[in-house]
Amino acid sequence: MEQRLPASVRRPVPVLVLAGVSLALWAAWLGWDQHRDVRSDGSTTGPYEAWQVIGLVFTLFVPVCWAASRRHFAAAVLGTTTGLTVAAYADWSDDASGLFMVGVGMVMTGSLAATAAVSAVISSAGRQGRRSRA
């Protein structure tokens, strides 16, 4: 006899998994680089390089597509957005200017829009594939 978890327990699991994956990928790509680079003219850049952010986006693409292809649209969108927002808040909250919340809001808005768009494309492609097989 197979025992299954109640639906009230199963439902949030994909969201929590995607949030955890997003947090871990943020730490892997961006969490270790906390120093600004000083150029010869005295200006500063960073702390992240473009390749780090691009790497984060491309590696997040895989779990978002995986979740969306299995009809876990809320997990793909909300889990990823929550994980990235929490990671940005934790990473940037020591900013003395207080402007870090603007950045956190931009991460939240951007990740929400991007994951919703990717999930919509995956959903549409899945529906097209099911129609062509029928």
DSSP H or E segment with residue 106: helix 100-133
Contact 79, 19 (CB under 8 A): yes
- Six token digits for residue 83: 């994980």
Give the E-state strand segments of 1-134 in sequence order: 37-38, 44-45
Instruction: Answer yes or no: are the C-beta atoms of 15 and 63 closer than 8 Å.
Output: no
pLDDT tens track of the chain, all 134 residues?
567 766 665 678 899 999 999 999 999 999 887 777 778 888 877 788 899 999 999 999 999 999 999 989 999 999 999 999 999 999 998 888 888 999 999 999 999 999 999 999 998 886 666 555 55
Token digits of residue 102 = 């603007």
Domain boundaries, the chain: 14-133
According to DSSP, the residues that pair with 44 across neighbouring strands are: 38
